[in-house]
Amino acid sequence: MSTETRTVMVRMRNVYKYFGQLRALNNVSLDIYDGEKVVVIGPSGSGKSTMLRSINKLETVDAGDIIVDGININDEKTNINRVREEIGMVFQSFNVFPHMTVRENLNLAQMVVRKRTKEEAAAISKELLTKVGILEKADQYPGKLSGGQQQRVAIARALAMKPKLMLFDEPTSALDPEMINEVLDVMKKLAKEGMTMIVVTHEMGFAREVADRVIFMDFGAIIEEGTPEHFFKNPTEERTKLFLSQIL
């Protein structure tokens, strides 16, 4: 990979984050390039989600710089809302809006934030609902949908903003096993289209198939990173080996 010619989408430098005494992020530095698919793995409590959430400032870090698409998000002058428009986020617990139909879930931020007209928004929503295979549910309320369907709505809702970067925070962890693949398939499709993606997950099959790079975190720090090939065949660090032996 000739990384020199590619633009950096996310740059983290010496990032620290504390929850009381707990060091949730311990000197994390990382570059993620435009179009790259990065999968973050690690035991629970290792700081994966915190790192992901710090990229769109759902968590404010205590030290270090985070630069997204050239904008330092911890700069006081930065309007974080403008940065978040460009970053799609998918949560473990879906967080679809239960008081709105699927279609309205997709339309809302397009109209309120992107200032698109109702017709423009509706057209984009329709296209994305088709893409995630859920157009026939457009006028249903999320409560009537399965977990897998809700998560696909959440992905479509994030994509409707036409983001430059997508963050996935354990998107399949709250799903029943038979629904995991329908969500992973959507994510794979997205990866093929060249979306920049950072995915926190326990789905090693997905990591192996989709990731350009796998990052292993433990105790708030990046322990090891490399291609899936390297990772699953010859991990170098003891902790990585131990973790992989436990889950594979």
66 scored as a contact of another protein (CB under 8 A): no
76 scored as a contact of another protein (CB under 8 A): no
Q: Which is nearer to another protein, 199 or 223 (CB)?
A: 199
Q: Which one of 45, 98, 194, 205 is in contact with another protein (CB under 8 A)?
A: 98
Q: How many residues bind another protein (CB under 8 A)?
A: 25
Sequence-separated (6 or more) residues with CB below 8 Å from residue 197: 36, 37, 38, 165, 166, 167, 168, 187, 190, 191, 210
Q: How far is the CB of 205 from another protein (least distance, A)?
A: 27
Q: Which one of 99, 139, 233, 248 is in contact with another protein (CB under 8 A)?
A: 99
Q: Which is nearer to another protein, 53 or 137 (CB)?
A: 53
Q: Which one of 26, 27, 95, 146 is in contact with another protein (CB under 8 A)?
A: 95
In the chain, which ranges are continuous DSSP H helix? 48-55, 80-85, 102-112, 118-131, 147-159, 177-192, 204-210, 228-233, 238-247
Q: Which is nearer to another protein, 70 or 143 (CB)?
A: 143
Binders of another protein among residues 34 to 63 (CB under 8 A) are 56, 58
Q: Which is nearer to another protein, 93 or 130 (CB)?
A: 93
What distance in Å separates the CA atoms of residue 37 and residue 213, rounded to the nearest whole number?
Answer: 7
Stretch that binds another protein, among 6-14, 23-31, 91-99, 231-239 (CB under 8 A): 91-99
Kindly write out the interface string for residues 129-158 of this chain, putting x where it contacts another protein by CB under 8 A and - elsewhere. -------------------------x--xx
Antiparallel, parallel or unpaired: β 213-218 and 196-200: unpaired
SS3 call for 153: helix
Closest C-alpha to 18, from 9, 28, 5? 28
Q: How far is the CB of 108 from another protein (least distance, A)?
A: 6
Q: Which is nearer to another protein, 84 or 213 (CB)?
A: 84
Structure tokens at 189: 């499709």
Stretch that binds another protein, among 112-120, 170-178, 216-224, 231-239 (CB under 8 A): 112-120
122 scored as a contact of another protein (CB under 8 A): no
**What is the DSSP secondary structure assignment for residue 59, as one 8-state letter?**
S
84 scored as a contact of another protein (CB under 8 A): yes
Buried b (16+ CB within 10 A) or exposed e, 160-196: bbebebbbbbbbbeebeeebbbbbbebbeebbeeebb
Whether 8 and 31 have beta carbons less than 8 Å apart is answered as yes
What distance in Å separates the CA atoms of residue 66 and residue 87, rounded to the nearest whole number?
Answer: 14
* Residues in contact with another protein by the rule CB under 8 A: 56, 58, 81-82, 84-85, 87-89, 91, 93, 95-99, 108-109, 112-114, 154, 157-158, 161
